[in-house]
Structure 1
Amino acid sequence: MKPVFFLAALAAVYCAVESKSSPPKVQVYSQKPGEFGAKNTLICHVTNFHPPDITITLLKNGVEIPGATQTDLAFESNWHFHLTKHVDFTPEKDEKFSCKVTHGQSTNTYAWGESDQPECVQSSHNQGTKTVN
């Protein structure tokens, strides 16, 4: 009887933990300020999510960038997880870089260089540096 009670209690705890789903917080940024034609690293940092089943894809013009590296899945004391994926890249004018995150049934794409993200700048030998939107 004790093993059955123990398994039932364990199942109840597991279900309680699994039922608390938290959507991820996503940051897309580059290691250095964005500059057209300059080598850089595109980084997608995903935090505060639960359960841990998640897929992160780095994209250039909507197509997956090959060779991306992902950290090991890690968790905080509250059992929420974090993960980072990065890849070397060289941005050029009119290219769009983004991070697609699938967590549970939800998929969202976050753009690099838009809204609260750093803007990409274009170097010009004659005119200094100008911001490109």
Structure 2
Amino acid sequence: MNKFVFAALVGLFCLLGPSVAKESSPKVQVYSRLPGEFGKSNTLICHVSGFHPPEIKIELLRNGIEIPNSDQTDLAFEENWHYHLTKSVTFTPQKEDHFACRVTHMNKEPKLYIWDPDM
């Protein structure tokens, strides 16, 4: 009987868990794998976490245009049904370039997060 009660509670939590989670805006971090250096290959990373529901779009931009061939991790969830994703792309920063991560959560107005090369 205990196994049945446990299984029922787990099933109920799985069904109700996503519906009781509150909408949460994403927390965004934009950084590079290595310290920024003009003319040297690097990896631009945009880590988005703590959001719910999982409907989200992440774009890595160079001078306002999406950078092709970026990689994105699989959607993963944290406690309380909040999610996280990481998107990255190889890039070579030049002095005149500006890099950013644009995040659109639940078809709301996109937000732009600027990469600070710290150079």
TM over 0.5: yes
**Fraction of identical pairs, as percent:** 59
For residues 12-43 of structure 1, give each alpha carbon's deviation from its aligned partner in whole angstroms, at most 9, with x where no partner exists. Answer: 9478436x100000000000000000000000
Specify which structure has the higher proportion of helix.
2
Q: Aligned equivalents of 2:111 and 2:32: distance in 1?
A: 19
Structure 1: state its 5+ residue gaps.
1-8, 122-133
For residues 87-107 of structure 1, give each alpha carbon's deviation from its aligned partner in whole angstroms, at most 9, with x where no partner exists. Answer: 000000020000000001231
Q: Which residue identity is paired with 1:36?
A: F
Q: Give the alignment's TM-score, normalised by structure 2.
A: 0.82
SS of the equivalent of 1:21 reads: coil
Measured on the aligned residues, the alpha-carbon RMSD in Å equals 2.0
Residue in structure 1 matched with residue 42 of structure 2 by the alignment = 40
Q: Give the alignment's TM-score, normalised by structure 1.
A: 0.74
Question: Between Structure 1 and Structure 2, how many residues are aligned?
Answer: 106
Runs of 4+ more than 3 Å apart: 12-16
Q: Which has the higher contact order (CA 8 A, sep 6+)?
A: 2
Structure (1 or 2) with the larger CA radius of gyration: 1
